[in-house]
């Protein structure tokens, strides 16, 4: 997606995307920016990628992007991110809770640290970021998009803690839609096989997953970005919904 694609109906709007420096997060950032939004790109460790992405976007439209690092497990981070968005751009219209920890936790080897990390990044941080952002979003009749997972409804073997965290995020999405309406819309996206995990998957397992996907292929980060843009820009009467973008994997 390039800066000239589509229209610019998000011109003058401001979006904060957590975990926005790479992979799906970067695709969402580019999609919102292409539609005219200014973006605050949160990252934790991907410093080089965040700097490169914001430079790319500012080259397209000067002053339209900024990056900020922070650990989502830091209880002070939600307030700091919202303050940074307001200080830099003067408003906040969109919050995309994308950042996520993901790794296996087989029963018998689950630790308290893994529980705190997986629940913290996938559920606690989205809650407190949404709470911190709510006044600014209400003032602009904005929206929240939570990146859930099809495994929040259909558990992934060997990942009970992650699956439980995403199930909680699915319910949080619906709860916040009720709590923050009518001013703020809250929706979720549940990706399926879009990007393979960075720790790698056996090729036979990849083929098995694709074979069980109705469209017979895996998706792209841009598929998630397009859905996020739809929810933010083109769905003013949609709230409390979770859209599976999984090629039919969950059928």
* Residues known to be catalytic: 162
36 token code pair: 């005219």
CB 81 within 8 A of CB 131: no
Q: Is 251 helix (H, G, I), strand (E, B) or coil?
A: coil
Q: Which residues pair with 143 in a beta bridge?
A: 94, 185
b/e burial code for range 233-250 (CB count within 10 A of at least 16 → b): bebeeebeebbbbbbebe
Sign of dihedral through CA atoms 115, 116, 119, 122? negative
Quote the CA–CA distance of 51 and 67 in Å, as a whole number. Answer: 7
Sign of dihedral through CA atoms 193, 100, 229, 186? positive
Quote the CA–CA distance of 88 and 25 in Å, as a whole number. Answer: 20
Residues contacting residue 97 through CB under 8 Å, at least 6 positions apart: 18, 125, 126, 129, 130, 144, 145, 146, 147, 169
Quote the CA–CA distance of 159 and 110 in Å, as a whole number. Answer: 10
Residues contacting residue 129 through CB under 8 Å, at least 6 positions apart: 18, 78, 81, 82, 95, 97
> What φ, ψ does residue 125 adopt, rounded to 5°?
-60, -45
């Amino acid at each position: 997606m390039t800066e000239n694609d589509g229209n610019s109906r998000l011109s003058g709007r401001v979006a904060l995307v957590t975990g926005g420096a790479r992979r799906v997060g970067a695709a969402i950032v580019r999609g919102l920016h292409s539609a005219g939004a200014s973006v605050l790109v949160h990252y934790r460790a991907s410093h080089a990628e965040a700097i490169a992405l914001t430079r790319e976007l500012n080259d397209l439209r000067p002053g339209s992007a900024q990056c900020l690092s922070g650990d989502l497990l830091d209880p002070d981070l939600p307030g700091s991110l919202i303050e940074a968005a307001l200080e830099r751009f003067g408003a906040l219209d969109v919050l995309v809770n994308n950042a996520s920890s993901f790794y296996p936790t087989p029963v018998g080897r689950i630790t308290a640290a893994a529980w705190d990390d997986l629940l913290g990044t996938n559920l606690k941080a989205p809650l407190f970021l949404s709470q911190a952002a709510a006044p600014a979003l209400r003032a602009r009749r904005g929206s929240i998009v939570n990146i859930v997972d099809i495994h929040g409804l259909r558990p992934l073997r060997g990942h009970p803690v992650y699956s439980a965290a995403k199930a909680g995020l699915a319910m949080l999405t619906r709860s916040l839609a009720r709590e923050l309406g009518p001013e703020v819309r809250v929706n979720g996206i549940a990706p399926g096989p879009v990007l393979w995990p960075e720790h790698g998957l056996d090729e036979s397992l990849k083929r098995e997953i694709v074979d069980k996907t109705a469209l017979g292929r895996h998706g792209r980060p841009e598929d998630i970005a397009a859905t996020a843009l739809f929810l933010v820009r083109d769905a003013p009467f949609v709230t409390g919904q979770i859209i599976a973008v999984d090629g039919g994997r969950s059928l």
